């Protein structure tokens, strides 16, 4: 089983042992469920927050809005960071941020700390894609696709599960009790990730760059290159070199591995002297 081409070659993924796979799959499901549920905790608590902290409903709504905003910002950042060799460290650090944010929502602090904690919790929404990456690289190919689909479904279920639990706890124990549940499950998710999430496969790199080239000289007009391989345009100083790069075995391997995962617009234009 091979991973996606990075740095001039294919990344060789190593499926974990069967016994480890049995633990890895529920661990990935649990983490995806937790981050989705915790990020949505603020939805049923808006009225309770407004009442408990004596703020307007508009102000209380920021406890949810800021979590969604931070998740939208964090998702592409974590995806880029997690595509490299430091995926495990990225997952653990992100979960640590979520745990810290959950602690802020539980401690008896002024209202301003509540949306701050919600923002930290929202960062965890970016972990869903990283869980899929772990499944792709470390599970057998015949099971990886099914697990990735389940992670996607579980992340949606997590948002729905958080609603009734948070509302029930807020009814009997107040806002802090509802957020206390978030602290407990995020701490459990951090421990689960530390015990179960493996390191990224060797050879993985996140350093892809796009280089703009002028259409007037005899170069490629737009060229995609990885610093380590010189594919499709880095240093193509002639029409013949561009054609040779396009026909190279390394580029053809990249086409097969990427398949329909990206849209390609490869143009070779011979310049006019």
User: Across the strands, what pairs with 21?
Assistant: none
Range of the domain at 216: 209-258
Task: Determine the Cα–Cα distance for residues 7 and 46; give it in Å rounded to an integer.
Answer: 47
Confidence at 124, pLDDT banded by 50, 70, 90 = very high
Whether residue 95 is predicted with pLDDT greater than 90 in this model: the reply is yes
pLDDT number for residue 216 = 33
Q: The domain that contains 6 carries what CATH number? A: 1.20.1250.20
Q: Last residue of some domain: 156, 174, 196? A: 196
For residues 231 and 132, membership in a common domain is answered with: no
| Number of domains forming the structure of the chain | 2
For residues 115 and 60, membership in a common domain is answered with: yes
For residues 127 and 222, membership in a common domain is answered with: no
> pLDDT digit string (tens) for 14-54?
555 554 667 889 999 999 999 988 887 877 788 888 888 89
Work out the angle between the directed axes of helices 141-173 and 175-196 (0-180°, nearest 10).
160
Q: Is residue 271 part of a domain?
A: no
For residues 178 and 213, membership in a common domain is answered with: no
For residues 85 and 147, membership in a common domain is answered with: yes
Q: Is residue 265 part of a domain?
A: no
Whether residue 100 is predicted with pLDDT greater than 70 in this model: the reply is yes
> pLDDT digit string (tens) for 165-208?
888 888 888 888 888 888 999 999 999 999 999 888 875 555 44
pLDDT number for residue 271 = 59
For residues 191 and 250, membership in a common domain is answered with: no
Q: Is residue 273 part of a domain?
A: no
pLDDT number for residue 209 = 42
CA distance to 113, 131, 136, 149, 229, per residue, from 127 (Å)? 23, 6, 14, 15, 29
Q: Last residue of some domain: 196, 223, 247? A: 196
For residues 165 and 229, membership in a common domain is answered with: no
pLDDT number for residue 228 = 38
Q: Is residue 268 part of a domain?
A: no
pLDDT number for residue 223 = 42
Pairing of strands 209-212, 9-12: unpaired
For residues 69 and 102, membership in a common domain is answered with: yes
Q: Is residue 125 part of a domain?
A: yes
Please say whether the dihedral angle defined by the alpha carbons of residues 3, 190, 143 and 15, taken in this order, is positive or negative.
positive
Contact criterion met (CB below 8 Å) for 193 and 93: no
Task: Determine the Cα–Cα distance for residues 168 and 256; give it in Å rounded to an integer.
Answer: 51
pLDDT number for residue 191 = 96
For residues 139 and 224, membership in a common domain is answered with: no
pTM over 0.75: no
Q: Is residue 138 part of a domain?
A: yes
Average pLDDT value for residue range 252-264: 69
Whether residue 71 is predicted with pLDDT greater than 80 in this model: the reply is yes
For residues 12 and 90, membership in a common domain is answered with: yes
For residues 233 and 169, membership in a common domain is answered with: no
Average pLDDT value for residue range 242-246: 77
Whole-number average pLDDT of the chain? 77
For residues 169 and 232, membership in a common domain is answered with: no
Q: Is residue 12 part of a domain?
A: yes
Q: Last residue of some domain: 163, 196, 229? A: 196
């Amino acid at each position: 089983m091979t991973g996606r081409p990075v740095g001039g070659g294919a990344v060789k993924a190593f499926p974990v042992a069967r016994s480890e796979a049995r633990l890895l799959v529920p661990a990935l499901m649990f983490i995806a469920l937790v981050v989705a549920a915790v990020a949505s905790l603020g939805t049923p608590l808006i009225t309770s927050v407004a009442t408990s902290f004596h703020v307007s409903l508009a102000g209380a709504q920021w406890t949810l809005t800021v979590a969604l905003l931070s998740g939208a910002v964090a998702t592409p950042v974590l995806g880029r960071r997690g595509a490299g060799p430091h995926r495990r460290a990225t997952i653990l650090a992100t979960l640590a941020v979520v745990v810290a944010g959950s602690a802020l929502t539980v401690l008896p602090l002024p209202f301003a700390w509540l949306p701050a904690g919600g923002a930290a919790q929202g960062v965890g929404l970016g972990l869903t894609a990283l869980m899929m990456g772990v499944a792709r690289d470390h599970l057998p190919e015949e099971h990886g696709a099914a697990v990735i689909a389940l992670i996607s479904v579980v992340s949606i279920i997590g948002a729905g599960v958080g609603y009734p639990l948070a509302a029930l706890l807020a009814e009997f124990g107040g806002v802090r009790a509802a957020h206390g549940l978030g602290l407990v499950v995020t701490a459990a998710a951090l421990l689960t990730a530390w015990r179960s999430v493996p390191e990224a496969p060797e050879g993985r790199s996140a350093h892809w760059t796009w280089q703009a080239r002028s259409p007037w000289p005899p170069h490629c007009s737009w060229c995609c290159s990885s610093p380590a391989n010189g594919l499709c345009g880095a240093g193509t100083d002639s029409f013949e070199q561009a054609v040779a790069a396009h026909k190279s075995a390394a580029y053809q391997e990249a086409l097969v591995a990427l398949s329909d995962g990206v849209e390609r617009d490869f143009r070779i234009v011979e310049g006019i002297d």
